């Protein structure tokens, strides 16, 4: 059994990794990157700004902090200013009492955990208040403490947790407060209750008997007006499962707002309480059973409220899924269906659950049971756990993060092109990154990830200001506002379409990527991201009249002069995490025996006559290929000969640094990029390629790099023509160089031959000594010294290790010295530059 369980776990892990490995953020923005602006509110006297509440007009943000409540003006999307601050600190006696209970001094402050709008004139707030919860009323106009019905601050037990680290939930409906928290100092008495009841209503809570809640962790709550029900979401120990270890399950519970408790049975207790399991599980996988956060998304206009969706973040207690998160969606229709079905029965003696077999006396969870008989209410008291679980929409997971643990979520419905609605999720990771996700058919696409924290922070919730277009995040160190859209970052139609952001569309008239709500004729393809179908109008026409797709158009080239046998490094920047980079040569293949393509996209090789030429840095994303950079690698020429430079559009600024020419390159995002990304249009930022003497410059987001300008004929030409012209000029220059070197070589050979003849003639005209003739006549009986002397006047020319005849070195005085570079340059081989 153990081996079988392990095998199943391994298969589940492999299945998950294979199915969800493609879920990767397209772009990454490290903190401080100018490509993604953030607005941060911090104050040296304010801490733990975690509880957030937006006003009805979304112009004011109410913040519950440590020992204070703030109002922040968020009417401007790029600024947050504190307007008022209400101090609410424990007294010295409260702090001393808290310390005597054995609590840390830093935990004895008043952490505001409940902040709700009570009515049109007042707000209601509750805080931990040195482990002795308190609640106050706040006048909305004067933002000052108001006197409640009791004339003094109210006790917060059952409304707010004692411990600032315990999770809780609270919501107000018609001036009444519905909470889920703990009602004792030790945190062992969980309770779902109603407070501030008015009229015929009375304050209600769960019965104190065991079984209603099992060590829960409260997450969130929401109100559905058509149902007149409050739904509470939490995690707890699932007692219905008979496991050795404690098995945690996620729950949704409901109570009716019209509930007033029973007349005799369940007096001042809920008669409509019911709960069911939320099952976030895909086929043949272990469930993600621990709920971290959940948010409701209202249905589209004109549809039933049953189409309300609840998007939740789930993690797993199983070792095989540790460090991973899943997002599941549940519909209100499915929740209602489960609550109207069968229920399990709890044996109060053994505290064991079983499937009910007795006659159903009532439907638990149904509103209006407060007038039922005692037998019916006793039946409801023992039958409040639904038999079936609520399964996710489409019976699957919306998203699985293979290496990120999500902690908070927010959801929004966005109207895209052609009136199509898309669901956008904002997911905050525990490591401090905000993921912006759009849900497509049967999969999810992470548009971008934005780093909002340097260190992990305690975050209670995320708020969306739809009218201001901002995501508000309250953390322990401050409040951060993140713009929902970042359309101006995408510089071309291709990038705007590949982003697949429902907020953004390409304007073919203005030639820029802009927000969808500003125009109706924008180009967008969120579902497919098909660049060829959406951006055909940017194609250029060749002289033959045939259209060219954007992928075949090359930007102007960067001329890189190198010496032979020099190691060349060419950098290819990263367009996105989903794009694959590769290198191309015109009419040539990149052999792995000669070229090294690294994981960072760079290309390395040794400069030889055969490796000189043009190199194209290209990326492929979603079937679309685009050329980012073109390098023209050429040999360093004679300083007296001017190098060839490709043609540029008239608007391109020129550079005077050596043989370098400017190349227009798009703004590219890379997770390891250290250079700041350009933002303003009137700035000329320079991106320096690592390990390469190449500098690339661009001036504006609206790039006009697809076509070159023929200045002489005043017409638009293709970039290929520029490259051909440069090649022709390069051939002529090198032909001149080769001819000169050939002439020099012939002259050198002639001079060497003349000198050799002179030495030969001089040796033959030397008079022989009588002793030499006698020795010759006697058969060569010369002494060794004489033979050595004669050998020194030999007419043969020898040259060893740079020594001239007679053992004398040239010492650089030879008329012509042939170096290796000259030989290589005169071997008749021209650089392999394609036509």
Domain CATH for 716: 2.60.40.10
Domain boundary among 731, 753, 786: 731
In percent, how much of the chain has pLDDT > 70? Answer: 74
pLDDT attached to residue 781: 43
Q: Residue 77: its pLDDT value, please?
A: 80
State the pLDDT at residue 198: 86
Q: What pLDDT score was predicted for residue 458?
A: 83
Whether residue 61 is found in the same domain as residue 48: yes
DSSP run (H or E) holding 789: helix 784-792
620-630 per-position pLDDT tens digit: 999 999 898 99
- Give yes or no: residues 563 and 529 share one domain: no
Which has the closest alpha carbon to 114: 166, 149, 75? Answer: 166
Domain boundary among 683, 705, 731: 731
The pLDDT value given to residue 152: 77
Give 795 or 743, the one with higher predicted confidence: 743
Closest by Cα among 829, 512, 532 to 701: 512
Taking the C-alpha atoms of residue 221 and residue 316, their distance in angstroms, rounded to an integer, is 22
The winner for highest mean pLDDT among 610-624, 635-649, 712-726 is: 610-624
Instruction: Say if residues 31 and 92 touch (Cβ distance below 8 Å).
Output: no
pLDDT surpasses 50 at 320: yes
Backbone angles phi, psi at 750, to 5 degrees: -65, -40
Within a domain: 337? yes
Q: Which tokens hold the place of 70?
A: 């703030």
Q: What's the CA gap between 392 and 650, in Å, rounded?
A: 58
Beta bridge partners of 446: 437
Phi and psi of 53, rounded to 5°? -150, 125
Residue 833: inside a domain, yes or no? no
Whether residue 680 is found in the same domain as residue 633: yes
User: What number is the average pLDDT over the span 743-767?
Assistant: 74
In a domain, 6, yes or no: yes
Exposure b/e, 643-667, CB count within 10 A at least 16 = b: bbbbbbeeebeeeeeebbbbbbbbb
Strand stretches in 305-442, DSSP E: 309-315, 325-331, 343-347, 352-355, 385-386, 399-401, 406-415, 421-429, 433-440
- What's the CA gap between 291 and 594, in Å, rounded? 54
Q: So what's the pLDDT on residue 668?
A: 40
Question: Strand, helix or coil at 546?
Answer: coil
Q: Would the pLDDT of 373 be above 50?
A: yes
Give Cα separations from 655 to 4, 121, 184, 652, 667 (angstroms).
68, 66, 74, 10, 20
Pair 443, 459: CB distance under 8 Å: no
pTM: 0.74
Q: Which ranges of 472-542 does DSSP label H, i.e. alpha helix?
A: 493-499, 531-534
Domain count across the chain: 4
Residue 585 included in any domain: yes
Q: Give pLDDT, residue 644.
A: 42
Taking only the tens place, the pLDDT of each residue in 183-210 is 998 888 999 999 999 888 999 999 777 7
223 and 112, same structural domain? yes
| Secondary structure of 490-509 as H, E, C letters | CCCHHHHHHHCCCCEEEECC
Residue 804 has pLDDT above 60, yes or no: no
Which whole number is the average pLDDT over 92-98? 93
Mean per-residue pLDDT for 85-98?
94
> What does the DSSP 8-state code read for residue 510?
T
- Is the confidence at residue 830, as pLDDT, over 70? no
Res 761 pLDDT > 80: no
Based on the fold, state whether residues 747 and 634 are members of the same structural domain.
no
Element (H, E) at 752: helix 719-764
- Look at 117 and 538; give whichever has higher pLDDT: 117
* 277 and 204 assigned to the same domain: yes
Q: How far apart are CA 135 and CA 118, in angstroms?
A: 13
Q: Is residue 830 part of a domain?
A: no
In sequence order, which residues have a C-beta less than 8 Å from that of residue 327 and are 6 or more positions away? 311, 312, 313, 314, 397, 398, 399, 400, 406, 409, 425, 427, 444
Average pLDDT of span 717-722: 40
Considering the domain boundaries, does residue 832 fall inside one? no
Q: What is the CATH number of the domain that holds 525?
A: 3.30.1680.10
Q: Check the CA dihedral 601-607-610-616 and report its sign.
A: positive
**pLDDT averaged over every residue in the chain:** 78
In 3D space, the residue among 227, 232, 277, 276 whose CA is nearest the CA of residue 256 turns out to be 227
What integer is the mean pLDDT of 641-669?
37
Same-domain status, 503 and 621: no
* 636-to-629, 639, 658, 690 alpha-carbon distances in Å: 21, 8, 11, 21
Pick 819 or 380 by higher pLDDT: 380
Pick from 708, 731, 754: which residue ends a domain?
A: 731
The answer on 736 and 694 residing in a single domain is no
Task: Report how far residue 669's alpha carbon sits from residue 619's, in angstroms, rounded to the nearest whole number.
Answer: 13
Residue written as tokens 């009417």? 75
Measured in whole angstroms, the distance separating CA 564 from the mean position of its chain's CA atoms is 42
Question: Could you tell me if 74 and 83 are in contact, meaning their C-beta atoms sit under 8 angstroms apart?
Answer: no
**502 lies in which domain range?**
487-538
For residue 223, give the nearest of 160, 178, 268, 167 by alpha carbon. Answer: 178
Q: What φ, ψ does residue 40 adopt, rounded to 5°?
A: -120, 135
C-beta separation of 556 from 630 below 8 A:
yes
User: Which residues lie below 8 Å from residue 54, measured CB to CB, with a gap of 6+?
Assistant: 60, 61, 62, 463, 465, 472
Q: Is the pLDDT of residue 557 over 80?
A: no
Instruction: Considering only residues 502 and 743, tell me which one the structure prediction assigns the higher pLDDT.
Output: 502
Assess whether 242 and 213 both reside in one domain: yes
Torsion of CA 681, 79, 40, 489, to 10 degrees: -30
Q: Across the strands, what pairs with 325?
A: 401
Closest CA to 218 of 191, 197, 194, 245: 191
Rounded Cα–Cα distance for residues 549 and 205 (Å): 68
Per-residue confidence at 731, pLDDT binned at 50, 70, 90? low
Residue 305, Cβ neighbours under 10 Å: how many?
13
Give the tokens for residue 217: 């962790």
Question: In this predicted structure, which of 93-97, 125-129, 409-413, 779-783 has the lowest mean pLDDT?
Answer: 779-783
Q: Using the predicted structure, report yes or no on whether residue 684 has a pLDDT greater than 60.
A: no
3 state SS of 697: strand
pLDDT at 755 (0 to 100): 82
**pLDDT digit string (tens) for 113-170?**
999 999 999 999 999 999 999 999 999 999 999 988 877 778 999 999 999 999 999 9
- 191 within domain boundaries: yes
Note whether residue 835 is domain-resident: no
Tokens 């367009």 belong to residue: 575
Residues 441, 511 within the same domain: no
Q: Cα(696)–Cα(555) distance, rounded to whole angstroms?
A: 12
d(CA 625, CA 713): 31
**Which of 16-25, 112-121, 671-680, 688-697 is predicted most confidently?**
112-121
**Among 430, 438, 588, residue whose Cα is nearest residue 498:** 438
- Span 793-798, average pLDDT: 38
CA distances from 502 to 222, 426, 497, 569, 753 (A): 27, 14, 10, 39, 81
Q: What is the pairing mode between strands 27-29 and 443-451?
A: parallel
Residue 227 has pLDDT above 70, yes or no: yes
- Mind listing the pLDDT tens digit for each residue in 282-292? 888 889 999 99
Please tell me the predicted confidence (pLDDT) of residue 617: 93
691 and 748 together in one domain? no
Q: How confident is the model at residue 4 (pLDDT cuts 50, 70, 90)?
A: very low
Residue 255: per-residue pLDDT: 96
Q: Do 152 and 171 meet the contact criterion of CB atoms below 8 Å apart? A: no
The more confident residue out of 759 and 503 is 503
State whether 694 and 752 are in the same domain: no
Pairwise pLDDT comparison (481 vs 820), residue with the higher score? 481
Task: Report the chain's C-alpha Rg in angstroms.
Answer: 40
């Amino acid at each position: 059994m153990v081996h079988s369980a392990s095998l199943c776990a391994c298969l589940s892990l492999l299945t998950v990794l294979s199915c969800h490995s493609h879920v990767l953020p397209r772009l990454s923005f490290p903190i401080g990157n100018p490509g993604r602006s953030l607005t941060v509110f911090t104050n040296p006297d304010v801490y733990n700004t975690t509880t957030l509440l937006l006003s009805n007009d979304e112009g004011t943000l109410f913040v519950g902090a440590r020992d204070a409540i703030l109002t922040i003006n968020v009417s401007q999307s790029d600024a947050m200013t504190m307007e008022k601050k209400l101090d609410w600190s424990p007294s010295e006696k409260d702090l001393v009492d808290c310390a005597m209970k054995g609590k840390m001094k830093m935990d004895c402050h008043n952490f505001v955990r409940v902040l709700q709008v009570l009515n049109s004139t007042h707000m209601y707030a509750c805080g931990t208040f040195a482990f002795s919860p308190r609640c106050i009323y706040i006048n909305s106009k004067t933002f000052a403490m108001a006197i409640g019905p009791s004339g003094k601050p109210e006790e917060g037990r059952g409304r707010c947790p004692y411990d600032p680290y315990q999770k809780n939930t609270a919501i107000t409906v018609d001036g009444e407060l519905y909470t889920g928290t703990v009602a004792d100092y030790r945190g062992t008495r969980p309770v779902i209750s109603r407070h501030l009841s008015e009229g015929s209503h009375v304050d209600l809570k769960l019965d104190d008997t065991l079984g209603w809640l099992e060590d829960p962790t409260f997450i969130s709550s929401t109100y559905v007006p058509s149902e007149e029900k409050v739904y509470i979401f939490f995690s707890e120990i699932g007692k219905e499962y008979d496991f050795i270890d404690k098995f945690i399950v996620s729950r949704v519970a409901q109570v009716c707002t019209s509930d007033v408790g029973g007349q005799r049975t369940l007096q001042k207790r809920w008669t409509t309480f019911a709960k069911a399991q939320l099952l976030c599980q895909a086929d043949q996988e272990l469930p993600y059973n621990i709920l971290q956060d959940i948010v409701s998304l209202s249905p589209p206009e004109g549809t039933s409220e049953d189409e309300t969706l609840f998007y939740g973040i789930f993690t797993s207690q199983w070792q095989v899924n540790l460090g991973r998160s899943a997002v599941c969606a549940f519909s209100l229709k499915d929740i209602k269906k489960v609550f109207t079905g069968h229920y399990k029965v709890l044996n109060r003696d053994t505290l064991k659950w079983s499937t009910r077999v007795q006659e159903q006396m009532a439907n638990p969870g149904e509103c209006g049971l407060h007038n039922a008989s005692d037998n019916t209410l006793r039946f409801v008291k023992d039958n409040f756990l639904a038999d079936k679980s609520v399964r996710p929409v489409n019976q699957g997971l919306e998203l699985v993060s293979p290496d990120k643990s999500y902690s908070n979520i927010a959801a929004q419905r966005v109207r895209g092109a052609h009136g199509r609605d898309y669901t956008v999720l904002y997911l905050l990771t525990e490591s401090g990154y905000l993921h912006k996700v759009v849900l497509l058919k049967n999969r999810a696409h992470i548009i971008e990830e934005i780093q909002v924290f340097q260190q992990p922070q305690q975050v209670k919730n995320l708020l969306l200001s739809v009218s201001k277009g901002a995501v508000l995040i309250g953390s322990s160190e401050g409040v951060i506002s993140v713009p929902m859209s970042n359309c101006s970052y995408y510089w071309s139609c291709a990038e705007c379409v590949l982003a697949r952001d429902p907020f953004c569309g390409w304007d073919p008239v203005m030639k820029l990527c802009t927000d969808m709500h500003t125009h109706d004729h924008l180009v967008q393809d969120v579902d497919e991201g098909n660049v060829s179908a959406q951006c055909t109008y940017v194609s250029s026409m060749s002289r033959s009249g045939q259209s060219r797709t954007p992928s075949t158009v090359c930007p102007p080239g960067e001329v890189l002069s190198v010496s032979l046998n020099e190691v060349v490094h060419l950098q290819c920047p990263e367009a996105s995490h989903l794009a694959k980079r590769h290198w191309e040569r015109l009419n040539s293949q990149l052999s792995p025996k000669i070229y090294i393509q690294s994981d960072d996209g760079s290309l390395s090789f040794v400069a030889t006559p055969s490796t000189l030429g043009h190199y194209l840095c290209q990326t492929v994303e979603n079937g679309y290929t685009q050329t980012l950079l073109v390098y023209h690698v050429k040999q360093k020429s004679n300083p007296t000969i001017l190098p060839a430079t490709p043609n540029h559009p008239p608007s391109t600024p020129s550079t005077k640094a050596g043989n370098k020419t400017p190349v227009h390159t798009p703004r590219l995002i890379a997770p390891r990029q250290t250079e700041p990304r350009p933002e303003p249009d009137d700035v000329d930022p320079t991106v320096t390629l690592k390990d390469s003497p190449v500098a690339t410059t661009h001036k504006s987001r609206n790039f006009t790099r697809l076509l070159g300008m023929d200045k002489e004929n005043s017409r638009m030409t293709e970039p290929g023509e520029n490259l051909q012209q440069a090649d022709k000029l390069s051939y002529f220059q090198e032909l001149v160089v080769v001819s000169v070197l050939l002439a020099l070589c012939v002259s050198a050979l002639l001079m060497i031959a003349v000198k050799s003849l002179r030495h030969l003639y001089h040796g033959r005209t030397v008079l022989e000594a009588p002793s030499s003739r006698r020795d010759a006549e006697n058969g060569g009986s010369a002494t060794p010294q004489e033979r050595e002397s004669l050998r020194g006047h030999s007419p043969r020319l020898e040259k060893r290790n740079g020594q001239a005849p007679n053992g004398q070195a040239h010492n650089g005085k030879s008329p012509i010295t042939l170096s290796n570079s000259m030989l290589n340059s005169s071997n008749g081989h021209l650089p392999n530059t394609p036509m």
